[in-house]
Amino acid sequence: MLNTHVAQEHASTQSRALPKHLHHAAALAGAITLIGFVALFMHGCAAAPPRAHLDDYREAFNAARDVAEQVLIETEIIWQEAEHIPLHDVAGDQADDWLAFDASPDRAGDSTREHIDLRLQFWRIAARYNEALLALAEGRSPDDASRSASCFADALRDLPIRQLTTIAGHFGALHGVLGESLAAIENHHARQRIEQAVLAGAPLVDQMFELMREDVTDLYDVHLVRYHQQRRAIDESLQLELLPSFQLLYESTGPREDKAALFNAVRGVLAGDLRYRDADLPAFGDSHTDDAPYSAQDHAQLLLLRDSIQQVGRQRRAIDANMQQTKQLLESYHTLLTIAQHQLHALQQAVEVGEPAPAEAVLHTSLAVFRELVNYRQGATP
């Protein structure tokens, strides 16, 4: 609409006979027409993403990245510590794994470290992508703007600038609006480049976020297995060594009254820290306990076994707490990935749907320049 108005106004002005001494203004009009073309061109372009969406996305990304690095490093340690993990032959015969020999090149060097490193690499390269987007948003770029501005600059270079001093009063106003136009052009082209960069890169980063989110389940499973391996080690020690030894000593020696405190301490650990069901709690000494005094050595041994069982209880509490923290960490990580992904979608949507185009600013500026010229001509005409 505005473009049409400018064109009509321009055409009606051109149809009038110009005084000869105003030929400089005609050259000026050429430049202004060029601005108009730039404005028309820009008006048809897609709208640009708001900077706020980019900032929101980068903020969410950085938060997810911080947690990701922590999660990946933690997982790497556990993964590497796990013994005999058959990475390639999932369905193979586990019993004969150690006999397998595979010297194929693709297997050589294929380690946990490489899998983790690749994930860390994503966060680094995606951060560089974000910085490139930021650079574009700040107008520190691009070649498209350079090409378009080049034509504009060439046109302006042909203007008889020294002669324009004869219309100094009017040039002052023109200078101002030219500056505004230039800023609008820069801004517009930078935003166009962001659009292209977002449309090209965001779907890939989005897919990576999706894979990272799926990764969380497997990372959790690695921690879950580790947790059960730790529990298993505790149970093995408790069930095959500590409790049988304690029961043997307890039932073979010592006065019943003295041993009551030891008995309660052990049952407390089993029922409390290890969460044994009542039916599973050991019933020591129902038929074998005698009241004969035990030797100092037996007493010391019983105390030592009690302490060891209590230590097992503390270990179990510690690994439970650690697993709970790991679970919370991974849940937070998953949430952060989801937020970052949503912010990326918002950025993409802003590119596709858009907001008021900067081309409008160029158009208004061009119109202001044109009106300035019309006013000048009207004032200069005898």
Partner 1 sequence: MNHTQQTDRALYLNAHAQFESILRSRKSTTQQKRAALDAMDDLDRDYLSQAAHNLQQSTAQMQQFITLIEDIVAALEAQQQPLDAIDRLREIIEQANHVLRE
104 binds partner 1 (CB under 8 A): no
CB 17 to partner 1: min, Å: 28
Binding residue (CB under 8 A) for partner 1 from 14, 70, 207, 264 = 207
Binding residue (CB under 8 A) for partner 1 from 37, 55, 201, 332 = 201
The span of 51-59, 233-241, 255-263, 373-381 binding partner 1 (CB under 8 A) equals: 233-241
When the beta carbons of 244 and 356 are compared against partner 1, the nearer one is: 244
The span of 45-53, 54-62, 177-185, 365-373 binding partner 1 (CB under 8 A) equals: 177-185
- The token duo for 193 is 């480049």
CB distance 363 to 44 below 8 Å? no
CB 296 to partner 1: min, Å: 30
**26 Cβ contact partners less than 8 Å away, ≥ 6 residues apart:** 18
Binding residue (CB under 8 A) for partner 1 from 165, 264, 324, 375 = 165
- The token duo for 178 is 């030219």
User: In angstroms, rounded to a whole number, what is the distance separating the alpha carbons of residues 134 and 48?
Assistant: 14
CB distance 61 to 127 below 8 Å? yes
User: In angstroms, rounded to a whole number, what is the distance separating the alpha carbons of residues 308 and 302?
Assistant: 10
204 binds partner 1 (CB under 8 A): yes
Q: What is the dihedral of CA 67, 73, 75, 81, to 10 degrees?
A: -160
CB distance 289 to 256 below 8 Å? yes
What is the separation of C-alpha 298 from the centre of its chain, rounded to a whole number of angstroms? 60
The span of 20-28, 58-66, 220-228, 347-355 binding partner 1 (CB under 8 A) equals: 220-228
Query: Could you please report the per-residue DSSP string of 68-99?
Result: HHHHHHHHHHHHHHSSS--SS-TTS-GGGGGG
Residues 125-154, interacting with partner 1 (CB under 8 A): 125-126, 128-129, 132-133, 135-136, 140-143, 145-150, 152-153
When the beta carbons of 90 and 292 are compared against partner 1, the nearer one is: 90
User: In angstroms, rounded to a whole number, what is the distance separating the alpha carbons of residues 343 and 60?
Assistant: 7
The span of 52-60, 237-245, 339-347, 348-356 binding partner 1 (CB under 8 A) equals: 237-245
When the beta carbons of 249 and 294 are compared against partner 1, the nearer one is: 249
Binding residue (CB under 8 A) for partner 1 from 59, 93, 258, 280 = 280
When the beta carbons of 256 and 275 are compared against partner 1, the nearer one is: 275
Binding residue (CB under 8 A) for partner 1 from 105, 157, 286, 287 = 157
When the beta carbons of 53 and 119 are compared against partner 1, the nearer one is: 119
Angle between helices 256-271 and 243-252 (to 10 degrees): 160
322 binds partner 1 (CB under 8 A): no
CB 224 to partner 1: min, Å: 8
Residue 282's alpha-carbon distances to 240, 286, 310, in angstroms, are 13, 10, 15
Half-sphere exposure of 150 (CA within 13 A, CB side): 6
Residues 29-48, interacting with partner 1 (CB under 8 A): none
CB 240 to partner 1: min, Å: 7
CA triplet 191, 363, 15: central angle to 5 degrees?
145
Binding residue (CB under 8 A) for partner 1 from 77, 87, 300, 353 = 87
CB distance 40 to 3 below 8 Å? yes
Residues 7-26, interacting with partner 1 (CB under 8 A): none
Half-sphere exposure of 345 (CA within 13 A, CB side): 9
Binding residue (CB under 8 A) for partner 1 from 73, 240, 248, 261 = 240
Binding residue (CB under 8 A) for partner 1 from 219, 344, 347, 357 = 219
CB 366 to partner 1: min, Å: 15
Binding residue (CB under 8 A) for partner 1 from 59, 66, 81, 221 = 221
Residue 204's alpha-carbon distances to 53, 134, 207, 341, 348, in angstroms, are 18, 18, 5, 11, 12
CB distance 203 to 342 below 8 Å? no
